[in-house]
Structure 1
Amino acid sequence: MTAQISRRTMLKIAGAAAGAAGAGTAVAAAPASAASGVFAHPGMLHTQADLARMAAKVKAGAQPYTAGFAKLTANRHAQSTWTANPQATVYRGSGTPENYATLYNDIHAAYQNALRWHITGHTAHADTARDILNAWSAKLTRLDGSADRFLASGLYGYQFANAAELIRGHGGFELARFQKMMLNVFHPLSEDFLANHNGAYISNYWANWDLTNIASVLAIGILCDDRTKVDRAVAYFKHGAGMGSIKNAIPVVYSDGLAEWAEAGRDQGHALLGVGLMGTICEMAWNQGIDLYGYDDSRFLKGAQYVAKWSLGADVPYTPYTRKKGAPGIWSGTETASAAAAVDPAMARPIWAMIANHYTKRRGLDAQYLTRIAARFAPEGGGGDYGPNSGGYDQLGFGTLAFTRGRATTAGTTASPTPSTTGSDASGSGVASAAPSSSASPLGGRSGDLAATGSSDLPAWTAATGVAALAGGLLLLRRRGQARRDSGQ
């Protein structure tokens, strides 16, 4: 692995100068770190300014916000009638009584109801989100299963924390008990994976395994106001030994300003997942004053542009990538990816709006492939809109609603927000988006090694189509005093 990364580093250096020009010339100032100040709440995927923007734009009937909001209200998880089904132990992986679908469905119901509450002010949705989270924190004590338990700690850890962050000030929410559950049930597994990788060779697990758990540690750190955990997640993102640190996930920068996503040699579905997870990490860090989007000359921008171009069906270069698999004393082998895998341009995950809006609107950079692919799949839905199995719930989604924004002023492009403020403009954009494709594509994936990520559970999924009608006259902005009470404590 070390030799492989070193060779890629040399290639990166050779193309770095031209790559910087291809990505744009804006240079972000060093932001304030959450480690040096208080935490902003809400301050994960959404700030209070983000939530106010969504509410104002939906109330005004502005597009594409109303189309994005229609996707939310049409989702069965976003209904205030949802009832939680908490479990004491959640299992993910073969050979166990798998019940993790119960968990991810409840998480997405909590998140969607919480988001709907912030937009409409209807407290029934906040109450539903609160009741779901309270029910789980009163019962869940363990995550178990095969190696896939580490996927559960990562994916559901960051998602659970984001749902809780949205209602942390709502009456009756047992925040302290929920924080205890996150610290005792989710964090130990996420930290153990980053430290020990399930006893396997460091390169056995593809980038997504690290990225899920980086996201979880970061989100739990923010939720619990724990600077050590936030710093741990940020340090691993930058310098971690595993495949998920940014220079291992994106090992080669080319002279055209694109950068190879290592998992593009595996399959399209997992590469899309990785881009979505890295974007989630960058967005949560940004909202705490930490600029990972711009780290290493905006390396993530170059990698996301590469995956967007490839996923649109265009040719991209690929430097052969060899990784060692297995575990010491058990078995070992190698696997080489020689070219970027085949793609289906209709394959969709709700990941692009957040990333495209950051680079083109907050930063004012040119990102033509991100812009095109975000428009192609707008309006983005969420959990439940991209297939019934776990792969359809890997992202919280609704990016068209949540992340569409107007272009920032020149001053606004220079730095991420400090932890005590928000980094989002409230203006938004009224640009209409293209309709998505409706054809289905398999996510791919293989079984048979330690890093087989539940390939039997990776669905063929369909880009969401159609927009449900909005009920006129029912959208109300929350009163200003209510907003202050609920904006974070």
Structure 2
Amino acid sequence: MLKIAGAAAGAAGIGAAAVTAAVPASAAGGTFAHPGLLHTQADLDRMAAKVKAGAQPYTTGFARLTANRHAQSGWQANPQATVYRGVGSPQNYTTLYNDIHAAYQNALRWHVTGDTAYADTARDILNAWSAKLTSLEGSADRFLAAGLYGYQFANAAELVRDHDGFELARFQKMMLDVFHPLSDDFLTNHNGAVISNYWANWDLTAIACVLATGILCDDRAIVDRAVDYFKHGEGMGSILNAIPVVHDDGLAEWAEAGRDQGHALLGVGLMGTICEMAWNQGIDLYGYDDSRFLKGAQYVAKWSMGGDVPFTPFTRKKGAINGWSGTETTSGVAAADPAMVRPIWAMIANHYTKRRRLSATYLTRIAAQAAPEGGGGDYGPNSGGYDQLGFGTLAFTRAKAAAGETTASPTAGASASPSPSSSASTAVSGSGAGSATPSSGATPLGGRGDLASTGSSDLVAWTAATGVSALAGGLLLLRRRGQARRAAAPGTTGADGT
């Protein structure tokens, strides 16, 4: 029997008690914790202490970082006033993502080693861009540039936000003026397309950017916008649309598994990134809707390793509002290559198996196969190899929470020293916050090109999107914001990344 993402009572009732128990303290209010995007101060202290002690797998993960050409002090930024991405524009976005990954990798290396030459390099890259960048342009792919590079930029800045000479206020202004408006507009209008036109990755990049911007800029309303869309958004990237069907074996199918493996992996990585950033501010999206993301990630992990997974055919609407339109049916799971690797698994596996003490066999296996995870520049020269910040083996490997307790997310607003520390950190433990066991049997479960390219041209005269329809298992579902949620199956256009 299949469990389709929630008809009225179902959506409200599935895992409702678990969600209540899972929400960490101060999820809705209070001040922000800094650093508090993908890495907290406790995370950074742990990395430094483990590498200093020569502990594995941290030292192997750190070796991947130090070997990357982007992680070298003295990297010279090449800022642009306007960044273009997409068909028909003088594309120069490779300059942007290479500089972002250099800033992030240098900042991470600083926190591990304490050598300020790396912090200075990261700071100088970020300052150079915030002093010059004024706009993102291009075809529909400009929304991808805003989402992907926005959340990554914010993460790099968060690591040096208190370092001497970093122009934080100017960088925050750039995020609010250049990146956030495009991502927020995409979640509202979807480039004038019908709501199911764009596959889940488009929404997920935008959610990641909005959330990261809100945290970096201490803006609660922006954070709430991202969290609300993740839970209740009408587009294909909200969690009930990206993962529309839960099976009795505890696996939940990832809609884009019917598209191709590269996009499915990108989507899992983006959703994991969103969950981790929210978790570090006391908001539990990992456990939302009875740990739905765990079930979807397990599904993609099993399939990516060559395992058989079920798939429910669905039809989605495509095209522009008041313009060209059509439908597309996805009838089965796409072929998967077990050799395809993306640095997305360590973060997700460590959350569920170490923080939550849950069994996640497929996540554990695929994380081991991907280790040690590298970062931008280690997975090919095209932008698809830069869609994740990576280095999860170093950054997210953690000890399992003690028996009888789970590790709660940090309390938002906790202050921390911005400078690297070599002292070992201790986990913040909670009284079961976020520890509810997923139902449906989830606990006992045993390099291609540019993933962020649409593969299609802009549809020019598109207007604002409204709530629309999707088909899951032959059932037409109409949804409007504010009404009871109904099951929806994802859909979109594009052939590369979102």
Normalising by structure 2, report the TM-score: 0.83
SS in 1 for 2:22: coil
C-alpha distance 91-29 of structure 1, shift in aligned 2 (>3 A):
same
| Structure 1 residue 452, shift from structure 2 partner | 5.1
Q: Determine helix, strand or coil for the equivalent of 2:6.
A: helix
Alignment map for 1:12-31 (pairs within 5 Å): 28-31=21-24
Cα RMSD (Å): 2.6
| CA displacement at 1:322 relative to structure 2 | 1.1
CA–CA separation in structure 2 for the residues paired with 1:343 and 1:227: 40
- 1:215 aligned to 2:208? yes
- Residue among 250, 267, 288 paired with 1:295: 288
Picking from 455, 463, 468, the partner of 1:447 is 455
Judging changes above 3 Å, is the alpha-carbon distance between structure 1 residues 307 and 443 closer, same or farther for their aligned structure 2 residues?
A: farther
2:89 matches 1:96: yes
Q: 2:170 aligned with 1:173, yes or no?
A: no
Distance 2:338 2:396 in 1: 23
Q: 1 or 2, which has the higher helix percentage?
A: 1
Asked if the contact 2:198/2:494 (under 8 Å) is kept, the reply is no
Partner of 2:273: 280
Partner secondary structure for residue 280 of structure 1: helix
Task: After superposing the two structures, state which structure 1 stretch, 412-421 or 283-292, moved more.
Answer: 412-421
Q: Report the CA distance shift for 1:256/1:265 in structure 2 as closer, same or farther (over 3 A).
A: same
Return the letter of the residue paired with 1:9.
G
Does the 8 Å contact 2:385/2:450 carry over to 1? no
Cross-structure match for 1:81: 74
Structure 1 position 106 matched with structure 2 position 99: yes
CA contact 1:148–1:453 (8 Å) conserved in 2: no
| Corresponding letter in the other structure for 1:319 | T
Deviations 1:47-102 (A, max 9, x none): 00000000000001100000000000000000002100000000000100000000
Cross-structure match for 2:41: 48
Equivalent residue for 1:409? 402
Q: After superposition, where does 1:286-435 map in structure 2 within 5 Å? A: 286-410=279-403, 412-413=405-406, 415-421=408-414, 426=425
Give the match for residue 487 of structure 1.
Answer: none
Whether the 8 Å contact between 1:352 and 1:370 is mirrored in structure 2 is yes
Contact 1:113 1:125 survives alignment (8 Å): yes
Q: How far apart in 1 are the matches of 2:129 and 2:387? A: 19
Contact 1:34 1:227 in 2 (8 A): no
Q: SS state of the match for residue 106, structure 1?
A: helix
Q: Which runs of 5+ in 2 are unaligned?
A: 417-423, 428-446, 459-491
Moved more, 212-221 or 445-454: 445-454
The structural deviation recorded for 1:416 is: 2.2
Return the letter of the residue paired with 2:455. Answer: S
Give the residue type in structure 1 aligned to 2:237. Answer: G
Query: For residues 279 and 12 of structure 1, what CA distance do their matches in structure 2 show?
Result: 27
In structure 2, the CA distance between the partners of 1:381 and 1:159, relative to structure 1 (3 Å rule), is same
| CA distance in structure 1 between the partners assigned to 2:318 and 2:382 by the alignment | 27
After TM superposition, the score normalised by the length of structure 1 is 0.84
The equivalent of 2:6 in structure 1 is 9
Residue type of the alignment partner of 2:115: H
What is the identity, as a one-letter code, of the residue corresponding to 2:303?
A: W
User: Is the CA contact 2:42–2:425 (under 8 Å) kept in the aligned structure 1?
Assistant: yes
Query: Are the aligned partners of 2:19 and 2:290 in contact in 1 as well (CA < 8 Å)?
Result: no
Query: Percent same amino acid at aligned positions?
Result: 77
Q: Which amino acid aligns with 1:294?
A: G
Q: 1:446 to 1:168 in 2, by over 3 A?
A: closer
CA contact (8 A) 2:5 2:240 kept: no
**Aligned equivalents of 2:126 and 2:239: distance in 1?**
32
Aligned residues: 434
Query: What is the Cα deviation at residue 29 of structure 1?
Result: 3.4
Cα distance, 1:28–1:69 mapped onto 2, change above 3 Å:
farther
Give me the whole-angstrom Cα distance separating, in 2, the residues matched to 1:443 and 1:376: 23
Q: CA deviation at 1:412?
A: 4.8
Shift of 1:421: 3.9
- Counterpart CA distance in 2 for 1:195 and 1:412 is 40
Q: What is the CA-CA distance between 1:177 and the residue it aligns to?
A: 0.3
Matches within 5 A, 1:265-276: 265-276=258-269
Rounded Cα–Cα distance in structure 2 between residues aligned with 1:33 and 1:324: 39
**What is the one-letter code of the residue matched to 2:361?**
Q
- Trace 1:237-252 onto structure 2 (pairs within 5 A): 237-252=230-245
For the Cα contact (< 8 Å) 1:165–1:223, is it kept in 2? yes
Residue 409 of structure 1, CA deviation: 2.4
The one-letter code sitting in structure 2 at the alignment partner of 1:53 is: R
In structure 1, C-alpha distance between the alignment counterparts of 2:8 and 2:247, rounded to whole Å: 8
Q: Does 1:62 align with 2:55?
A: yes
Give the aligned residue type for 1:248.
N
| Residue 463 of structure 1: aligned partner | none
Write the distance in 1 (CA, Å) between the matches of 2:456 and 2:84.
20
Q: CA deviation at 1:334?
A: 0.7
Distance 1:391 1:285 in 2: 24
Does the residue aligned with 1:186 lie in a helix, a strand or coil?
helix
Aligned residues of 2:34 and 2:415 also touching (Cα < 8 A): no
Q: Structure 1: which 5+ residue stretches go unaligned? A: 1-5, 429-439, 459-489
Task: Tell me the equivalent position of 2:127.
Answer: 134
